[in-house]
Amino acid sequence: MSKPREKMQLTVELMRRGAVMMKEPCPIDNGVQLRYKGKVLCTTHDDLDAALSSKEITYADVALSLKDLIVVKLKENAALLENEKDPKKQIEIVSLITDCVDLMSKLEVS
């Protein structure tokens, strides 16, 4: 497929997904500009394929990743606590575990 034809198909797909054509031409190369997801893209020189493949990151995505990380840290600290003999270090580990559990409860995603 030729490059101009490919660009045109990507432009059409962006518009199908909600991109809006702007009346102002691109200040760099006078190309047609689109506004898509808060970004201004030039149909001539910007990578439209990347704009189409980008995924919107949601709070739920971030919260889930953070919860997964906290679970790993909880397991690591539980193992440390099991083998720790020093009472001061035990208190520190328990405090860290408590903070992790509190954070997990704040990250509950509906």
pTM over 0.85, yes/no: no
70 CA to centre of own chain = 18
Q: Which of 107 and 83 is assigned the larger pLDDT? A: 83
Q: What is the pLDDT of residue 69?
A: 93
pLDDT tier at 75, thresholds 50, 70, 90:
very high
pLDDT digits 0-9 by tens, 8-59: 898 899 899 888 999 999 999 998 999 988 889 999 888 888 888 876 677 8
pLDDT at residue 1, rounded to an integer: 45
Check the CA dihedral 69-72-78-81 and report its sign.
negative
Strands 20-21 and 33-36: antiparallel
